[in-house]
Amino acid sequence: MILHEKIAEQLPAWRERVAKLVKEHGDVVVDQVTIAQVYGGMRDIKSLVTDISFVDPATGIKFRGLSIPEVLEQLPKPDGANIPYVGAIFYLLLIGEVPTKEQAEAVEAEWARRAEVPGYVYDVLRAMPTDTHPMVLFSQAVLALERTSEFTRRYHEGMKKDTYWEPTLEDALNLTAKAPVIAAFIYRWKYGDKQEPRYQASLDFGANFARMLGVPDKGYEDLSRLYFILHSDHELGNVSAHATHLVGSALSDAYYAFSAGLNGLAGPLHGLANQECLAWLISVRDRFGGVPTRQQLYDFAWETLNSGKVIPGYGHAVLRVTDPRFTAQLEYAKKHFPEDTLVQIAELVYEVVPQVLKEQGKAKNPAPNVDAISGTLQYYYGVREFDFYTVLFGVGRSLGVMANLVWARALGQPIERPKSVTTAMLEDAAAQA
Ligand code: CMX
């Protein structure tokens, strides 16, 4: 299999590079930690390593060194599509090279071969009350698949540490292949015809997702590809990536690890913000019967802040500029459906809210993040069940966190175990400073 071969080819050089760095320069100091950071969610402490993506606070995400416009331009696309194959971004994240069309199609073929979801997983979901949040269903379905883990099977048989990455890659491919099918089933079971979706080997990941969800508009196939590419990875410290990495570091397999990542993604300060953001835009539309004036929007934003709430979709823990993932989605919407009321409101919010947040003076970044518009695009195509949106984020995020898990195993990253201290210790440190 092409992904296996390519990683195996690169591994000896990577292992040598990392071993040399740690052996010869292991005691070089890369960061210092303040009391504010220890008490402040470990913000900005450089303590994780990944070569798969990097978020520059001033420019945003780069996937293996490529910006979002470069990714959209350079990765191969299915015939007739405007957005690249999802298989192409997975190849880029895992291998670090822009794939040829054939290589991207080889990943797509692997997925098609592995997409079938065992019947008992559907039974687990059907046994749940229908008002269960879709993220609970998603996480539960992933966990239910754990018994199929190749890594865990091989681990218990006994395998050498330097081969851990091989069954992890198998799990990663199986999990990412099944994720869109599970997501589509959750959608149909909760809101639609309750049928089990069928993955068609003749279609790519994005087109399959659109068809399995039952969205007839061809444009939704491209939007699905765009959505999954943009949400795939955002370096390693964000909650979903870090939770997956942390749990995986105990040699829990890909299913345990990704289920944990999904549980973190479900929080309102992380992935759930996309559903909250669309709800906020709709409340603007309903209050003013359409696109408000700047002044009306300005007052509405202050009303939200004064009621103690955040403005969803704005602010970021790392970024200090407009998120390029927001820009890519806004451009897509303006190109394909510029007349849509919610798109126009989202654009006006982009003009007004940063100023409001600056005046409030709390948020370190008053600019929009990925969630500020993603729900608006889904809504346009008729996917209007807000609480499903974080599941879409999760399908995309599976790509990045699985690529990271494979490389963490390949490079033998150890169990995570940072040190905690007591408040009294910090007070002592402060007294001595
Ligand atoms: N609206 C109102 N206040 C905001 C704000 C917003 N959009 N963004 C930040 N603030 C406030 C914070 O609540 C914090 O207030 P307190 O000091 O009273 O606690 C203050 O500004 C400083 O926060 P910060 O350092 O700028 O931001 P953090 O790194 O702590 O948090 C984030 C980042 C994203 C959680 C925060 O900006 C936020 O809550 N945004 C709204 C929710 C959102 O869009 N989340 C999605 C993020 C992307 C993702 O992970 O999916």
371 is catalytic: yes
The answer to whether residue 275 scores a pLDDT higher than 90 is: no
CATH architecture, range 273-380: Orthogonal Bundle (1.10)
In this structure, which residue's CA is closest to atom 11 in ligand 1?
A: 363
Q: Which atom of ligand 1 is nearest to the CA of 305?
A: 2
> Which residues contact ligand 1 via a Cβ below 6 A?
238, 269-271, 273, 305, 310-317, 362-365, 369-371
In this structure, which residue's CA is closest to atom 12 in ligand 1?
A: 363
Closest CA to 230 of 382, 68, 369, 352: 68
Q: Give DSSP secondary structure letters for 301-345.
A: HHHHHHTT---TTB--SS--S--HHHHHHHHHHHHH-TT-HHHHH
Closest CA to 88 of 242, 226, 271: 226
Q: How does pLDDT run across 157-213, given as a tens digit for each residue?
A: 999 999 999 999 999 999 999 999 999 999 999 999 999 999 999 999 999 999 999
Q: Which atom of ligand 1 is nearest to the CA of 362?
A: 21
- How open is the CA angle 185-190-191, to the nearest 5 degrees? 100
Closest CA to 325 of 89, 84, 69: 69
Number of residues that make up the chain: 433
Cα–Cα distance between 43 and 126 in angstroms, integer? Answer: 40
Domain 115-269+393-410 matching CATH 1.10.580.10: the answer reads yes
Q: Catalytic: which of 231, 242, 245, 270?
A: 270
Q: Where in the chain is the domain with CATH 1.10.580.10?
A: 115-269+393-410
pLDDT at 272: 86
4 is catalytic: no
Q: Catalytic: which of 316, 323, 336, 428?
A: 316
Gap from CA of 71 to ligand 1 centroid (Å): 28
pLDDT at 273: 85
316 is catalytic: yes
Q: Where in the chain is the domain with CATH 1.10.230.10?
A: 273-380
Does 3 or 1 have the greater pLDDT score? Answer: 3
Q: Which atom of ligand 1 is nearest to the CA of 41?
A: 30
In this structure, which residue's CA is closest to atom 36 in ligand 1?
A: 315
pLDDT at 291: 97
Q: Which atom of ligand 1 is nearest to the CA of 365?
A: 26
Distances (CA, A) of 360 to 304, 322, 326: 12, 18, 22
> Ligand 1 pocket check: which of 135, 316, 326 to mutate, most ligand atoms within 8 Å of Cβ?
316
> Ligand 1 pocket check: which of 45, 262, 362 to mutate, most ligand atoms within 8 Å of Cβ?
362
Q: How does pLDDT run across 22-34, given as a tens digit for each residue?
A: 999 999 999 999 9
Cα–Cα distance between 91 and 176 in angstroms, integer? Answer: 12
Gap from CA of 70 to ligand 1 centroid (Å): 29
Distances (CA, A) of 176 to 12, 170, 238, 289: 26, 10, 20, 41
pLDDT at 193: 96
Q: How does pLDDT run across 369-419, given as a tens digit for each residue?
A: 999 999 999 999 999 998 999 999 999 999 999 999 999 999 999 999 999
Q: List helix spans (H) across 58-100.
A: 68-74, 86-95
